[in-house]
Amino acid sequence: MIVDLARDLGVEMMITLGSLLADVPHTRPSPVTGGATDPDLIERLGLQRSRYEGPTGIVGILHDACNRANIPSVSLWAAVPHYVSLAPSPRAALALTQRLSDILGVSIDIAELEEASERYSEQVSEAVASDDETAAYVEELEERAELLDDEQQLPSGDSLAAELTRFLRDRERGNGGPEREGPSEQP
């Protein structure tokens, strides 16, 4: 079994790399998401705890086995444009390598991947330009990516809850409900 081999070799952490098809433009760096089960790794490396409950593949099985064997594990996934799903993505490989470098705290020579990523972007851009419908779709994806870049940070849970409370209060007033100024008022 892989976990037994990892233990025999003194592996300190299992890291898997993968990609997934997503609504992302080929003109931007591939976003990378990462997950782990160890709370310390999640905090230290800025990862997420998976909340997925359903059928799994070999990666999920491997990470579950590592967890049961007390071998820390991390899973990194790069988003790949679904409209270019048949071609290998140097852009995704570059993003995964950069994130892996950060996690391991080592320098990895990425010069070849950077060159391949640029060629990839140019080739896909040429192909996209020959189809008006795909070009319009990529433009829409780029606009969405710009909006996400501009937002920089998601609002806090408290501000979302306050906004929802405000929305519901305004909606209640609009439907003839009682008008309340604050939580201290009694009916």
pLDDT band at 184 (very low <50, low <70, confident <90, very high): very low
Residue 173 lies inside a defined structural domain of this protein:
no
In this model, does residue 187 exceed pLDDT 90? no
In this model, does residue 97 exceed pLDDT 90? yes
Residue 177 lies inside a defined structural domain of this protein:
no
Residue 118 lies inside a defined structural domain of this protein:
yes
**Per-residue pLDDT, 105:** 93
Rg value, the chain, Cα: 23
Q: Tokens 């851009």 appear where?
A: 125
Between residues 128 and 185, which one has the greater pLDDT? Answer: 128
In this model, does residue 21 exceed pLDDT 60? yes
Range of the structural domain that residue 25 is part of? 2-150
Q: Judging by DSSP bridges, how do beta strands 32-36 and 14-22 pair with one another? A: unpaired
Residue 166 lies inside a defined structural domain of this protein:
no
Residue 182 lies inside a defined structural domain of this protein:
no
Q: For 99-130, what is each residue's pLDDT tens digit?
A: 999 999 999 999 999 999 999 999 999 999 99
Q: For 54-76, what is each residue's pLDDT tens digit?
A: 888 899 999 999 999 999 999 99
**Per-residue pLDDT, 51:** 75
In this model, does residue 81 exceed pLDDT 60? yes
d(CA 76, CA 124): 24
d(CA 136, CA 126): 14
Residue 159 lies inside a defined structural domain of this protein:
no
Residue 85 lies inside a defined structural domain of this protein:
yes
Give the pLDDT mean for 32-60.
87
Between residues 183 and 158, which one has the greater pLDDT? Answer: 158
**Per-residue pLDDT, 168:** 73
Between residues 180 and 48, which one has the greater pLDDT? Answer: 48
Three-class SS of 5-32: HHHHCCCCCEEEEEEEEECCCCCCCCCE
Residue 176 lies inside a defined structural domain of this protein:
no
CB atoms inside a 10 Å sphere around CB 11 = 16
CATH of the domain at 83: 3.40.50.10900
| Number of structural domains found in the chain | 1
